[in-house]
């Protein structure tokens, strides 16, 4: 019940929580995490180990199920370091808000809490309060978390206020640089018949030449592939489905894409084995025109520019700040 709110509540806590670095996965290090303490200081504001655990607990469970040993330790370090830097940035934003003398009216927060109760609990205020209590938070604490969340969001917006202009040249350049992303390569529907060689024995070569003659005379390539091929796709009649130029090695690719639909290749010898290729159909390469992608690319570039402006602003906040990670 109310699982979406629990996820929402956890993400709200994460906005103002902080994390600590892991230096070892030894029993001593794990024992130290049991005790609370200072993980970092930002201009006098303390970030604690307990806040760290609130933030990264679920993510670390996933990592521990996926990795082991040194890879596990390094990944946890990476996750915690990235998160603590993000949360240090958030703390700097909150401090900047206070320095500027800004205010968030209490009714803003009250309205948000009312919305949460209505949308996540069907208007049941008591169920909402019971959930808070189960999470170990008071209503006042939750409101403070929500207030901090609003502040961070609005300060980030304010930092990049004003129009962000993306010109046509930027859009065209992005389109050209990412052309492969917006295209489908040329493809062929391919069948392949393979006969493995055996040293100086001329038998395999003679055998595949005879098979080719039967195909040219009208025999079905797939039927013969089922009977004679020693390749991995024998049971499906040598059917490789639709393939592009990246699917096979260079020698086979060059021959295959030079064939017309309905045409069988000459015998190809590679590494002592013999191949016949048969192209059933072809699809030409397709490209989405710029006019169809214009708005999508513009949005992408605007988002990139917003991110750049926010990072520049955060660097300005960090420059004079006292920050210490323990």
The contacts of residue 287 (CB under 8 Å, 6+ apart) are 179, 182, 183, 184
Q: Residue 55's pLDDT is what?
A: 79
Binning pLDDT at 50, 70 and 90, where does residue 84 land?
Answer: confident
Q: What is the pLDDT of residue 15?
A: 41
pLDDT at residue 52 greater than cutoff 80: no
Report residue 131's pLDDT band, with 50, 70 and 90 as the boundaries. Answer: very high
pLDDT of residue 16: 38
Question: Between residues 22 and 124, which one has the greater pLDDT?
Answer: 124
Beta-carbon neighbour count of residue 16 at 10 Å? 22
pLDDT over threshold 60, residue 104:
yes
Q: Is the pLDDT of residue 49 over 50?
A: yes
Over the chain, what is the mean pLDDT?
87
- Beta carbons within 10 angstroms of residue 154's beta carbon: 15
- pLDDT value of position 2: 53
What mean pLDDT do residues 78-100 have?
A: 91
Confidence of residue 74 (pLDDT cuts 50, 70, 90): very high
Return the C-alpha torsion angle 190, 191, 197, 203, nearest 10: -130
Of residues 234 and 37, more confidence is placed in 234
Inform me whether the pLDDT recorded for 99 exceeds 80: yes
* pLDDT tens-digit readout, 152-182: 999 999 988 877 889 999 999 999 999 989 9
| Average of per-residue pLDDT across 253-282 | 95
Range list of H helices, 217-289: 221-228, 250-256
Percent helix, percent strand, percent coil in the chain, to nearest 5? 60, 15, 25
3-state secondary structure of 240: strand
pLDDT at 128: 96
Contacts of 152 (CB under 8 A, 6+ apart): 15, 90, 93, 94
How does pLDDT run across 196-222, given as a tens digit for each residue?
A: 986 667 789 999 999 999 999 999 999
Q: Distance from first CA to last CA of the chain, Å, rounded?
A: 39
């Amino acid at each position: 019940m109310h699982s979406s709110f629990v996820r929402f509540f956890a993400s709200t806590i994460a906005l103002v929580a902080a994390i600590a670095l892991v230096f070892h996965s030894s029993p001593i290090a794990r024992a130290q995490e049991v005790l609370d303490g200072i993980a970092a200081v930002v201009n006098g504001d303390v970030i604690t180990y307990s806040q760290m655990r609130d933030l990264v607990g679920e993510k670390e469970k996933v990592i521990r199920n996926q990795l082991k040993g040194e890879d596990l330790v390094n990944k946890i370090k990476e996750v915690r370091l990235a998160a603590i830097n993000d949360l240090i940035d958030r703390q700097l934003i909150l401090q900047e808000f206070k320095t500027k003398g800004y205010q968030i009216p209490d009714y803003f927060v009250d309205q948000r809490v009312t919305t949460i109760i209505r949308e996540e609990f069907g208007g049941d205020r008591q169920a909402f309060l019971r959930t808070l209590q189960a999470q170990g938070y008071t209503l006042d604490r939750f409101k403070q978390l929500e207030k901090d969340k609003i502040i961070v969001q609005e300060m980030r917006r304010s930092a990049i206020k004003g129009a962000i202009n993306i010109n046509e040249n930027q859009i065209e350049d992005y389109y050209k640089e990412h052309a492969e992303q917006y295209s489908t390569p040329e493809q062929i529907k391919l069948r392949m018949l393979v006969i493995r060689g055996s040293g100086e024995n001329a038998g395999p070569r003679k055998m595949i030449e005879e098979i080719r003659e039967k195909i040219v005379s009208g025999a079905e390539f797939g039927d013969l592939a089922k009977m004679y091929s020693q390749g991995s796709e024998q049971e499906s009649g040598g059917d490789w489905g639709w393939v592009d130029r990246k699917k096979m090695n260079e020698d086979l690719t060059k021959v295959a894409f030079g064939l017309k639909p309905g045409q069988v290749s000459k015998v190809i010898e590679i590494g002592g084995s013999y191949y016949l290729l048969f192209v059933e159909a072809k699809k030409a390469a397709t490209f989405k025109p710029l006019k169809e992608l214009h708005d999508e690319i513009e949005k992408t570039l605007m988002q990139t520019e917003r991110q750049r402006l926010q990072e520049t602003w955060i660097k300005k906040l960090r420059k004079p700040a006292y920050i210490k990670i323990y």
